[in-house]
Structure formats: structure tokens, C-alpha cells
Structure 1
């Protein structure tokens, strides 16, 4: 049976990509689509709004709650913004619908609110839904454990000029995983260097961000040792892999028990080394 799916934010780049790939998936059924409140796209056909070349017989709503009330959905896939995603999580919790969230920039308070909604419905939340990136995160942690404290660790990320948050959610996730693997804390993360900084403190993990052009997303973890250097890199050349990972998560989370999951759960990586 096809998973009945609602895509939010279809006027955006990720939303339209998700809509296209969900349309082409034989095991997914599009039953709803949304745009921002007050959008002129409301009431129009989602396929035409997203410029997919054909109508989908799915009308765009400007409120997720109304879209869910109109369709018996199994899961919502959301790549809008932290603020909008939190409102969407509330709407899903009120109606018992699973949710996949790829938005970044959540404050600690917003993340706590997301966790509260996950006590009611299953939610997959990850800063990066790419299968490749999540494997890189796992490999980075293993490298850190094996190399140990004798190697200096830096995370460098690059994104397009329009990205609003820095560093990226994926870079932060990488830094947190590296810190855990090395027995360090968030206090060991350094996000900027300027002026007379002195020698690099032992145990420091640097996280730096580049912005420019149309870069979809690049993340590199550097392990600097004496006489050798290891670089672990993931480069995204389009947004399809993020959307494909999110749709994989949508298939996985529909029908799960309530809880806050991540892509390691979806990919079966939890507890593996």
C-alpha cells in the first residue's frame, strides 16, 4: 500500500524537489501540499505551482492543519524553516500524523518543543537527510575514536549565498558527534578565530563556514596529525539526494511508535561502529 504523503513549502526549492520525486515514486501517494500562509498558490494545483509540467489533482493549501483535515495522510515531509516546522509538528501531533523534518536553525527551546510533539507522534528530524552525509558522520566519529587526541580536528562547510544559518546544521551535527567520540563538550567548539589567538588549545574542534555562489552543500572534516592529514569530504551537486533521503525517512517513519528519530535510525546505524 502506498504511503499517503503531504509535502509542505512546495513553492521553495526543496519543496518542489520533494514534490517531483514523490510524484515519481510508485510507493508514495501525494495527498496534500502546502505553501506559506496567504500565498497566491493556495487553491491552485500543486503540480502546476511547482512547475512539474502537469497537474497532480492535489490542491495547494496555505495551512497544514486544513490540508491534513482534507486528506487522510500517513506522513508529512517538511523542509520549510525552524519556526514553520514547529507549527507543522504541532498540527501533526494534534492529528496523529507522522512527520519528517529537514529544517535547521532550531533553538534549544524549539528543539525541546519538537521533542514534546514526538511524544505524541513519530518524528524524524535531521539537519541533513542525505544518505551519504549520514554515512560520513558515522565514519567521522569512528576516525576520531581511532585517531584519538593526538590529531587536531576541524570542520569546514560551504553553502550558497542565500543560506540563512551558519554554521550549517550538518556542520554542527558533525562537530557534536566528533566531540562525543573524543570525550569533549560543546565548550571545546570554536566557531571563529581572529587576531592574536595564540597556539591552538588542546582538544579544540574548529567549525568554520563559507558562503557564496550556488554551492548546494559541502562538508569536510580535517584530522591534522604530525606528518599526515586525513580529509573526509561530502559534496552535494544537487538537492535530489536530500529529498530522496527524506522520502526514505517518510516510508520508514509512517506507522512507527511515537518518538524523536534521526537518519541513523532510518538507516539502521544506531549502535553500530
Structure 2
């Protein structure tokens, strides 16, 4: 089945959600516009090796393209324009109607401008873990598979509804600080390369002083540039721990940490567990999904 430039590999429809494993068609091109009839939360199954950018084509949203992360939300009937031709090879996604979201999410408003602006590069480790479990089940369905898919999908939906309800509401406002061009330079450098640049390197790339960078980045985004870099490095570390067999020290070197212990301290601060414990936990989740096929 071909829809919106996707090929559906596996699809499971339940009472409240739809779970699907898809791959993109090889003839993808720049400027494609995607639109889905259901709210869609999608996870690329591997950390992308390229920088992908897109924008929601709705009134009162920032017209410039923004980085698309590994985890993406595409609200129902909201066009998404993608400006790069590369596409992920495999994506797991969970879909649900507006009625189901309202039933379990109450007055949370997914179409609020501030909420929408956070969904192209959506960051939610809990939802990412659930989608990984869904992907495992879709590839190797086991006993009571449809019931498990429904249970995981509902857990994901409620987690997302809580995020929408708790996210600060209001119109999307560009608050000044760094120019959009400088912000794009910084986000592309941090998110588009395997190794995250240092703050000094970022200031050189943007052509501004380190003092101006640190002050203006927070004015523009609401977070410090240091916190932003650490968050991106954390997400890259999680992907490398889950998707590769690289040693922790090699991951640390690749991401620009001085040593493995520096990575471990930073990772534990954000995840609440060590890189080794995270890898073991994710490995157990993957084995649990695969074991269903043996029953």
C-alpha cells in the first residue's frame, strides 16, 4: 500500500490507535508536502546520518525551516513541507483521531502555536521507548499481539496528552536575540554532525562573540546554549548506545566528551541511569519483543 510517499510494511488497527511500520519510497524529493488524516507520532528507527528540515504550513507559524528530529509529531490535516530529499529507511508510528485525543487528553490543544512549534523536533524519552517497543512487536508479533499494541498505543497517547496539557500555551513569538540565520547555523552544526562543536567553535561558526552567543541564544530559545548542546549530545548518545555496539569510550570520543567518565556523568544527570545500564535495559526490551515470535 502506497500513501503519501510511504510504503506500509506492517499495520495493526486497534479500537483506539493504529500502529504502523513504514519505509519511504526511493524517489523522495525536496519540497514534498506530507499530510495525514490522523494525529501521527513517528520515530525513525535509527539516528539519521543527515540533517533534515521542515516546517508546518499553517498561518501564524514561523515560515523558516527547522530541524526535524528522530521523533516527530504530525498533527492531523497539518501539512508538513520537507526541504531535504533524504528520508529515513524505516519509521514506526502510532496514529489516533482527534476524538480519541480529546477523550483521553481533556482540554489539551495540539494545535496551539507553542505546542506545534515544539513537535518537529519532539523530545520525550518515554514516548521514544514506547515506539521502540511497538516497532519490535510489529516486526515479530507474538501472543496477544493486538492487545499489546493497543496497550502500548494507549500508554503513548496518554503520555502525549499529558505533554500537550502541560506545555506552555500562547501564540508563537520570535523573541529576538540571535537572528534566525545564526540559529540555523548553530542547530545545523550541533544536530547535523556526529560530533557536537564546543561553545567556542559555535561562536566562531556564527561569527559572534561567546558572550553574545550565550546571552542571545537564551533570549531566542528560552534555554542556555550549553543545556541545548548537552541535550542533543544526550540524544545522540542514547541512539548510539541503542543502535550500535560501540564502546562507551568510543561514543564519548565521537560526541566530543573528554573521556568515558565525562559522558557517564552527563548521561546519568539526564537519564537517571548510566550508559551501560541504559544499553542493557534497551537490549532487554529488544530481546523481549523478539522472543514473542518463538512462542
Normalising TM by the smaller chain, what interval? Answer: under 0.3
TM-score (norm 1): 0.24
* Larger helix proportion of the pair: 2
Determine which structure has the larger strand proportion and give its number: 1
- TM-score computed with the length of structure 2 as normaliser: 0.23
